[in-house]
C-alpha cells in the first residue's frame, strides 16, 4: 500500500468556486475488509432481484446432473489475455454451458457482474457443431417451391446500449487475437485488402463486420431491424440476449419475437433450431423462465407432483458462482443533504488519499450522476478545484459519459488518461451501469439516483425526472468496480435507504411511448398487437394511442394494417415521426429531402451541435459568428444552415466549429449520419441520383423553401404544436398544456403565432425544444391531412 497522501490545499476543506465544502467527519464508518483471494464471498446476493427460489434450486440441481462430456475447450488468441480469461469464474463452466446447449435450445444464465458472461459465452460457443453454417431447403412463403438457403454460423449478442456493444466487440476481438477491422461506419474497409476477423459489431449508424465474422455484438434495436429483413434470423445459430434485466422496449419486443421463433415450427429455418441464451446478473429468473417456456409447461412445472415436467423443461437455468475480484461496499452513515457536495468530497478524498496505481493497475474513479447537466456541472467544479492542487498531488482528467455524447467522445472514457501522473475520473449516467468495463476503474461512487423517462399516455407527454435507482441498478453500478482488481463502491446513501429501494425498475414498455414498438410489430406482420407475447403488456390505452398516432402518420390504414408508407418508414433507423418526415420530404409536393436529411442528421448526432454558452463573455465572443446561422424561422432552419455551411467549408472544419463554439465531434457524426441517410434514400428509391459531393457552395434556403421544409416536418410532428395565447403563453394543440420555449432555442423569448417542437420534456418546467415558428393554418391543415 502506498503512503497516504495528505491533501495539501487547505486542510479539511475544499474550496471550489465560491463553494466551501468541509471534509470534517466524512465517512466515519470504515468499510469491512474482505478477503482478496478469489473466489471471494459475494458482496451482494448474486440474484438480488429474487432469492434463488425452490424452483431454481431444483433447476440448479438438475444442471449438476447434466451429463458432462469432456471436450477440449477452444482456446487461442492473445496469450496474455488468455490468463485473465482463465481466471474468470465462468471459465470453469464452459463445458457445462456447451453441454446444456447441445441438448437444449434456451439457457438462462445468471452470474455476478464481471464473472465473464458477455465476453466469454460467445467464445465458448462459436466452434460448436450446431453453430456451423448449413445449407437447407425451405419452402418459399405462399408457393410450393423449395429453395436452398444457408442457415446459422453466427452468434449475435445483444446489448441495451451502443457503447457496450462496441467496447465489448473491441475487447473480445483483442482476446481472440483477430483485429476488429472491416466495414467501418463510412462503408469503407480499412487498409485496402478485404478484412477478416472473428468478431464484429453493428450499432445505429456504425457497423464493423469483418469478413468471416462469427460473433457479432449489436444493440437490441439493430437486431429488431434485422428481424424485419430476416424474420427467421437465418444467419444466426444463436442469439445471446445480454443484460435482459434492463428491460428496454426493444429487448421486450425481441424476447417476444424470439419466443415465436423457438416455439414455432422452424420451417423457415429448414428445421434447424435457434439457440437462445438469456443473461444477466440481476434478472428476475422466474419471470423470464416462465416467459420462454413452451406453452403449458409453466402450469406443469408448478404443479405439486410434476417431477416429469421439471425434467422436460425447455429452459435450462445455470448460475455462475463467484466473481473475480471483491468489491467493498460502503454506505454513508447518515443521509446526505447535498449530493453534489458529497460526491465532490468523496472523489477528492479518494484522489488525495489513494495511490494512483497498484499491482493490479490503475486506480481510476467512476462516478454515477443523474444526467448531462449534473455531469457538466460536476466536471466544471472538479476541474476548477483540480487546478488549485499542489504539484505533488496527481493531476486529474475528467471524462463525461452520457448517451447524448457522440460515440467518439464516449469512447474517450475507455482510454487511459494520456498525461503522466494523472488520474482518470469518469462522470457517467446509467449508460455505464451495465455490461461495460471501463478500463482502470477501481472505485465507484454512486449517487443513488438516475433520470427516468416517464410517458403519460393520457397527456401525451414525457417527463424526465431524477428518481432513486433500484437495488438491481445499485448492484450493477457496484459491479463496475473490481473488474481488473479488488474494487470499492461508495454509495452516497445509507444502508437503510438501500433496503427501501425497489428490487428492479419497472420495464420501459410500461412507462414509455410505444409508438415505435407497435410499428415494428405491424411491420413484422403482427396483426393483433395486443396478443403479441410480451413479458409485461403495456396498458391498452397506450397501445390505442400509438395505433391512432400511426394512423395519423399514414403508417396504418383504416383497418389497422400497415401501409406502404409504414413499410418504408421502418427502413430508416430513426423514430417513426422522423421517418414520416423523410418520406414526406421525398414527395413531389415538398421535394426537400436533402434539407430534411440535413436537419435530422444534426438532431440525431447526439447532444446539441451548439455548445451551451455559460458566460456573457462567451456569448459575445461567438455572437457574430453564430449570427450567420440563426434563422428567424427557428431551430430547424438554423440546423439546416449550420449543416449546409459546415459541409461547404473547404478549409478547416474543426476551426470553423471552434469559432462558433459548436461541437466538432457531433458535426462530424452528423455528416456521417447524413451520408448514411442519403445512401438509404438512394437505395430505397427516394432519391433519383446521388447528390453532388461536398463541398458545395452555400446558398441560404429562401423563405418559400423554408416554408416547405417546415410543412414537411409538420407531417411527422403535428401533435407537437402549440398556439400563442393572449397572455403570451403557448398552449399545445392537443391536450391543452402550457409549454415554455427552452432557453437553448433560437425562439426563446419570442412570440410567434404558433410553434412546432420536436421534443418535449418536463424537468423544472414543461419545455418545448427544437422549436420552429409555424402558422396556425398549417397546423390545422396537417391535422386534416391536407398539407
Ligand atoms: N474493455 C475491457 N478492458 C479490460 N478488461 C476487460 C474489458 N472487458 C472485459 N474485461 C475483463 O473481463 C471481465 C469479464 O467481463 P464481462 O463483461 O464478460 O463480464 P460480465 O459477467 O458480462 O459482467 P456484467 O454482468 O457486469 O456485464 C471483466 O471483469 C474484466 O476483468
Mean pLDDT, the chain, as a whole number? 85
CA dihedral 476→480→485→486, nearest 10 degrees, is -50
Do residues 253 and 396 share a domain?
no
Q: Give me the numbers of helices (H) and strands (E) for the chain, helices first please.
A: 26, 27
What pLDDT sits at residue 218?
97
pLDDT of 142 above 80: no
195: in domain: yes
The residue with greater pLDDT, 707 or 6, is: 707
pLDDT of 328 above 90: yes
Ligand 1 pocket, residues with Cβ under 6 angstroms: 88, 111, 113-120, 167, 171, 281, 324, 434-435, 437, 439, 479, 483-484
**How far is the CA of 309 from the CAs of 277, 550, 555, in angstroms?**
21, 43, 44
717: in domain: no
What pLDDT sits at residue 206?
87
Here the cell at position 736 is 391543452
Nearest ligand 1 atom to alpha carbon 435: 27
Q: Please give the radius of gyration of the chain, using alpha carbons only, rounded to the nearest integer.
A: 27
What pLDDT sits at residue 55?
39
Q: Using CA atoms, how far apart are residues 319 and 58, in angstroms rounded to an integer?
A: 12
Q: Whose CA is nearest to atom 7 of ligand 1?
A: 437
Here the cell at position 580 is 414520416
**Where does the pLDDT of residue 480 fall: very low under 50, low under 70, confident under 90, or very high at 90 and above?**
very high
Q: Whose CA is nearest to atom 4 of ligand 1?
A: 439
DSSP string, 635-681: HHHHHHHHHHHHHH--S-HHHHHHHTTB-HHHHHHHHHHHHHHHHHH
What are the phi and psi torsion angles at 297 (to 5°)?
-65, -35
Domain boundary among 702, 729, 747: 702
Do residues 538 and 500 share a domain?
no
Residue 323 Cα to ligand 1 middle (Å):
11
Q: Whose CA is nearest to atom 16 of ligand 1?
A: 116
- pTM for the predicted model, two decimal places: 0.82
Nearest ligand 1 atom to alpha carbon 483: 29
Residue 415 Cα to ligand 1 middle (Å):
15
Domain boundary among 320, 353, 369: 320
Residue 174 neighbours by CB distance under 10 Å: 17
776: in domain: no
Residue 469 Cα to ligand 1 middle (Å):
23
What pLDDT sits at residue 453?
78
- Please tell me the least confidently modeled range out of 51-55, 164-168, 498-502, 567-571: 51-55
What pLDDT sits at residue 34?
33
Here the cell at position 252 is 421486450
DSSP string, 12-35: TEEEETTEEEE-TT---SPPPP--
Instruction: Pick from 48, 93, 116 the residue to mutate for probing ligand 1's pocket: most ligand atoms within 8 Å of its CB.
Output: 116
- Please tell me the least confidently modeled range out of 55-64, 211-220, 736-745: 55-64
Do residues 489 and 524 share a domain?
no
* Structural domain containing residue 479: 327-505
CATH code, domain with 534: 1.10.10.2130
Domain boundary among 505, 540, 560: 505
What are the pLDDT digits (tens) for 746-775? 999 999 999 999 988 777 788 999 999 999
Q: Whose CA is nearest to atom 9 of ligand 1?
A: 437
Q: Whose CA is nearest to atom 23 of ligand 1?
A: 114
Residue 213 Cα to ligand 1 middle (Å):
21
In the DSSP assignment, the letter for residue 569 is H
Instruction: Pick from 82, 89, 114 the residue to mutate for probing ligand 1's pocket: most ligand atoms within 8 Å of its CB.
Output: 114
Half-sphere exposure of 538 (CA within 13 A, CB side): 27
Q: Using CA atoms, how far apart are residues 331 and 729, in angstroms rounded to an integer?
A: 46
Nearest ligand 1 atom to alpha carbon 90: 21
Q: Using CA atoms, how far apart are residues 673 and 661, in angstroms rounded to an integer?
A: 21
pLDDT of 211 above 80: yes
3-state secondary structure of 317: strand
Q: Using CA atoms, how far apart are residues 63 and 181, in angstroms rounded to an integer?
A: 39
The residue with greater pLDDT, 190 or 463, is: 463
- Please tell me the least confidently modeled range out of 9-23, 92-106, 345-359: 9-23
The pLDDT of 160-169, averaged and rounded, is 95
pLDDT of 136 above 90: yes
Residue 322 Cα to ligand 1 middle (Å):
14
Residue 621 neighbours by CB under 8 Å, 6+ apart: 661
Q: How many domains does the chain have?
A: 4
Do residues 537 and 655 share a domain?
no
- Please report, in angstroms and rounded to a whole number, the separation of the first and last CA atoms in the chain: 72
Nearest ligand 1 atom to alpha carbon 324: 29
Q: Whose CA is nearest to atom 17 of ligand 1?
A: 118
Residue 219 Cα to ligand 1 middle (Å):
17
Nearest ligand 1 atom to alpha carbon 280: 25
Render the burial of 321-355: b for 16+ CB within 10 Å, e for the rest: ebbbbbbbbbbbeeebeebbbbbbbbbbbbbbebe
Residue 405 Cα to ligand 1 middle (Å):
23
The pLDDT of 627-640, averaged and rounded, is 92
Q: Would you call 276 exposed, middle or buried from its count of C-beta atoms within 10 A (0-12, 13-18, 19+)?
A: buried
Instruction: Pick from 119, 158, 322, 480 the residue to mutate for probing ligand 1's pocket: most ligand atoms within 8 Å of its CB.
Output: 119
What pLDDT sits at residue 556?
95
Judge contact between 199 and 178, C-beta under 8 A: yes
The residue with greater pLDDT, 427 or 573, is: 427
What proportion of the chain, given as a percentage, has pLDDT over 90? 65
The pLDDT of 571-597, averaged and rounded, is 94
Do residues 266 and 278 share a domain?
yes
Q: Using CA atoms, how far apart are residues 602 and 673, in angstroms rounded to an integer?
A: 8
Residue 512 Cα to ligand 1 middle (Å):
30
Q: Quick one: the chain helix, strand, coil %, rounded to 5?
A: 40, 20, 40
732: in domain: no
Residue 591 Cα to ligand 1 middle (Å):
49
The pLDDT of 206-219, averaged and rounded, is 93
Among residues 369, 423, 377, the alpha carbon closest in space to that of 401 is found at: 369
Instruction: Pick from 434, 481, 483 the residue to mutate for probing ligand 1's pocket: most ligand atoms within 8 Å of its CB.
Output: 483
Residue 88 Cα to ligand 1 middle (Å):
9
Do residues 672 and 634 share a domain?
yes
Q: Whose CA is nearest to atom 14 of ligand 1?
A: 116
Q: Using CA atoms, how far apart are residues 127 and 139, in angstroms rounded to an integer?
A: 28
3-state secondary structure of 740: strand
CATH code, domain with 183: 3.40.50.300
775: in domain: no
The pLDDT of 431-455, averaged and rounded, is 92
Element (H, E) at 442: strand 441-446
pLDDT of 265 above 90: no
What pLDDT sits at residue 610?
84
Do residues 271 and 346 share a domain?
no
Residue 537 Cα to ligand 1 middle (Å):
33
Nearest ligand 1 atom to alpha carbon 476: 26
Q: Using CA atoms, how far apart are residues 435 and 637, in angstroms rounded to an integer?
A: 39
3-state secondary structure of 148: strand
Residue 119 Cα to ligand 1 middle (Å):
6
204: in domain: yes
Q: Whose CA is nearest to atom 30 of ligand 1?
A: 483
Among residues 447, 363, 372, 444, the alpha carbon closest in space to that of 403 is found at: 372
Q: Whose CA is nearest to atom 18 of ligand 1?
A: 116
**Where does the pLDDT of residue 313 fall: very low under 50, low under 70, confident under 90, or very high at 90 and above?**
low
Q: Whose CA is nearest to atom 10 of ligand 1?
A: 437
pLDDT of 342 above 60: yes
Do residues 491 and 528 share a domain?
no
pLDDT of 29 above 50: no
Instruction: Pick from 43, 44, 86, 118 the residue to mutate for probing ligand 1's pocket: most ligand atoms within 8 Å of its CB.
Output: 118
Residue 414 Cα to ligand 1 middle (Å):
13
**Where does the pLDDT of residue 551 fall: very low under 50, low under 70, confident under 90, or very high at 90 and above?**
very high
Q: Using CA atoms, how far apart are residues 407 and 184, in angstroms rounded to an integer?
A: 13
Residue 242 Cα to ligand 1 middle (Å):
13
Residue 71 Cα to ligand 1 middle (Å):
25
Q: Using CA atoms, how far apart are residues 363 and 352, in angstroms rounded to an integer?
A: 12
Residue 120 Cα to ligand 1 middle (Å):
9
Residue 750 Cα to ligand 1 middle (Å):
51
Residue 522 Cα to ligand 1 middle (Å):
37
What are the phi and psi torsion angles at 198 (to 5°)?
-95, -30
In the DSSP assignment, the letter for residue 603 is H
Nearest ligand 1 atom to alpha carbon 171: 1
Do residues 110 and 256 share a domain?
yes
67: in domain: yes
pLDDT of 63 above 80: no
Do residues 270 and 335 share a domain?
no
Do residues 476 and 625 share a domain?
no
Nearest ligand 1 atom to alpha carbon 170: 1
pLDDT of 655 above 50: yes
pLDDT of 57 above 80: no
What pLDDT sits at residue 76?
61
Nearest ligand 1 atom to alpha carbon 85: 12
Do residues 486 and 528 share a domain?
no
Q: Is the peptide bond before 39 cis (omega within 30 degrees of 0)?
A: yes
What are the pLDDT digits (tens) for 71-129? 544 446 788 899 999 999 999 999 999 999 999 999 999 999 999 999 999 999 999 99
Residue 157 Cα to ligand 1 middle (Å):
14
What are the pLDDT digits (tens) for 390-432? 888 999 999 999 988 888 889 999 999 999 999 999 999 999 9
Nearest ligand 1 atom to alpha carbon 281: 25
The residue with greater pLDDT, 15 or 744, is: 744
The pLDDT of 447-459, averaged and rounded, is 79
767: in domain: no
Amino acid at each position: 500500500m502506498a503512503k497516504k497522501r495528505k491533501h495539501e490545499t487547505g486542510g479539511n476543506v475544499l474550496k471550489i468556486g465560491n463553494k466551501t465544502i468541509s471534509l470534517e467527519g466524512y465517512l466515519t464508518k470504515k468499510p469491512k475488509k474482505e478477503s482478496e483471494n478469489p473466489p471471494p464471498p459475494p458482496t451482494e446476493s448474486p440474484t438480488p432481484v429474487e432469492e434463488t427460489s425452490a424452483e431454481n434450486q431444483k433447476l440448479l440441481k438438475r444442471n449438476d446432473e447434466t451429463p458432462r462430456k469432456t471436450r477440449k475447450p477452444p482456446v487461442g488468441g492473445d496469450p496474455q489475455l488468455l490468463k485473465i480469461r482463465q481466471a474468470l469464474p465462468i471459465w470453469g463452466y464452459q463445458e457445462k454451458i456447451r453441454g446444456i446447449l447441445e441438448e437444449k435450445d434456451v439457457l438462462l444464465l445468471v452470474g455476478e457482474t464481471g464473472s465473464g458472461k458477455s465476453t466469454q459465452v460467445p467464445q465458448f460457443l462459436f466452434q460448436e457443431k450446431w453453430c456451423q453454417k448449413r445449407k437447407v431447403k425451405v419452402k418459399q412463403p405462399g408457393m410450393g417451391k423449395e429453395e436452398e438457403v444457408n442457415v446459422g454460423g453466427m452468434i449475435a449478442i445483444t446489448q441495451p446500449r451502443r457503447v457496450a456493444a462496441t467496447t465489448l466487440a473491441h475487447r473480445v476481438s483483442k482476446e481472440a487475437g483477430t483485429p476488429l477491422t472491416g466495414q467501418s461506419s463510412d462503408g469503407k474497409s480499412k487498409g485496402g485488402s478485404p478484412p477478416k476477423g472473428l468478431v464484429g459489431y453493428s450499432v445505429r449508424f456504425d457497423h464493423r463486420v469483418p469478413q468471416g465474422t462469427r460473433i457479432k455484438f449489436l444493440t437490441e434495436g439493430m437486431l429488431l431491424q434485422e428481424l424485419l429483413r430476416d424474420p427467421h434470423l437465418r444467419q444466426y445459430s444463436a442469439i445471446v440476449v445480454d443484460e435482459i434485466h434492463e428491460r428496454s422496449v426493444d429487448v421486450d419486443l425481441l424476447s417476444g419475437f424470439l419466443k415465436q421463433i423457438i416455439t414455432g415450427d422452424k420451417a423457415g429455418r429448414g428445421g434447424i433450431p435457434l439457440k437462445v441464451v438469456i443473461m444477466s446478473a440481476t434478472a428476475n429468473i422466474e419471470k423470464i423462465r416462465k416467459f420462454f417456456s413452451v406453452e403449458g409447461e409453466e402450469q406443469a412445472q408448478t404443479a405439486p407432483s410434476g417431477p416429469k415436467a421439471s425434467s422436460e423443461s425447455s429452459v435450462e437455468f445455470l448460475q455462475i458462482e463467484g466473481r473475480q475480484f471483491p468489491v467493498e461496499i460502503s454506505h454513508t452513515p447518515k443521509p446526505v443533504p447535498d449530493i453534489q457536495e458529497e460526491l465532490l468530497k468523496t472523489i477528492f478524498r479518494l484522489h488525495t488519499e489513494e495511490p494512483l496505481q497498484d499491482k493490479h493497475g490503475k486506480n481510476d474513479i467512476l462516478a454515477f450522476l443523474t444526467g448531462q447537466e449534473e455531469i457538466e456541472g460536476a466536471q466544471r467544479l472538479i476541474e476548477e478545484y483540480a487546478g488549485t492542487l499542489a504539484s505533488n498531488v496527481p493531476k486529474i482528467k475528467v471524462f463525461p459519459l452520457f448517451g447524448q455524447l457522440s460515440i467518439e467522445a464516449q469512447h474517450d472514457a475507455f482510454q487511459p488518461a494520456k498525461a503522466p501522473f494523472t488520474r482518470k475520473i469518469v462522470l457517467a449516467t446509467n449508460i455505464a451501469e451495465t455490461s461495460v468495463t471501463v478500463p482502470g476503474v477501481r472505485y465507484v461512487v454512486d449517487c443513488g439516483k438516475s433520470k427516468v423517462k416517464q410517458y403519460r399516455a393520457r397527456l401525451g407527454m414525457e417527463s424526465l425526472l431524477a428518481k432513486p435507482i433500484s437495488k438491481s441498478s445499485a448492484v450493477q453500478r457496484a459491479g463496475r468496480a473490481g473488474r481488473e482488481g479488488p474494487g470499492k463502491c461508495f454509495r452516497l446513501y445509507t444502508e437503510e435507504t438501500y433496503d427501501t429501494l425497489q428490487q428492479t425498475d419497472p420495464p420501459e414498455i410500461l412507462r414509455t411511448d410505444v409508438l415505435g414498438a407497435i410499428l415494428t410489430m405491424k411491420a413484422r406482420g403482427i396483426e393483433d398487437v395486443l396478443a403479441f407475447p410480451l413479458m409485461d403488456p403495456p396498458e391498452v390505452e397506450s397501445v390505442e394511442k400509438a395505433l391512432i398516432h400511426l394512423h395519423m402518420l399514414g403508417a396504418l390504414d383504416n383497418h389497422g394494417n400497415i401501409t406502404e408508407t409504414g413499410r418504408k418508414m421502418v427502413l430508416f433507423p430513426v423514430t417513426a415521426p422522423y421517418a414520416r418526415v423523410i418520406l414526406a420530404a421525398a414527395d413531389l409536393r415538398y421535394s426537400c429531402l436533402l434539407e430534411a436529411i440535413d436537419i435530422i442528421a444534426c438532431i440525431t448526432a447526439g447532444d446539441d451541435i451548439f455548445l451551451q454558452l455559460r458566460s456573457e463573455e462567451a456569448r459575445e465572443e461567438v455572437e457574430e459568428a453564430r449570427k450567420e446561422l440563426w434563422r428567424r424561422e427557428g431551430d430547424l432552419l438554423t440546423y439546416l444552415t449550420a449543416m449546409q455551411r459546415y459541409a461547404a467549408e473547404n478549409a478547416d472544419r474543426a476551426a470553423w466549429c471552434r469559432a462558433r463554439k459548436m461541437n466538432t465531434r457531433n458535426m462530424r457524426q452528423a455528416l456521417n449520419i447524413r451520408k448514411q441517410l442519403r445512401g438509404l434514400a438512394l437505395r430505397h428509391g427516394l432519391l433519383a441520383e446521388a447528390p453532388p459531393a461536398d463541398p458545395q457552395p452555400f446558398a441560404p434556403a429562401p423563405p418559400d423553401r423554408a416554408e416547405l421544409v417546415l410543412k414537411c416536418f409538420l407531417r411527422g410532428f403535428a401533435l407537437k404544436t402549440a398556439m400563442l395565447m393572449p397572455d403570451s403563453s403557448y398552449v399545445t394543440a392537443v391536450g391543452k398544456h402550457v409549454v415554455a420555449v427552452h432557453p437553448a432555442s433560437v425562439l426563446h423569448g419570442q412570440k410567434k403565432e404558433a410553434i412546432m417542437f420536436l421534443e418535449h420534456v418536463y424537468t423544472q418546467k414543461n419545455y418545448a425544444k427544437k422549436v420552429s415558428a409555424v402558422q396556425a393554418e398549417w397546423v390545422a391543415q396537417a391535422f386534416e391531412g391536407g398539407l
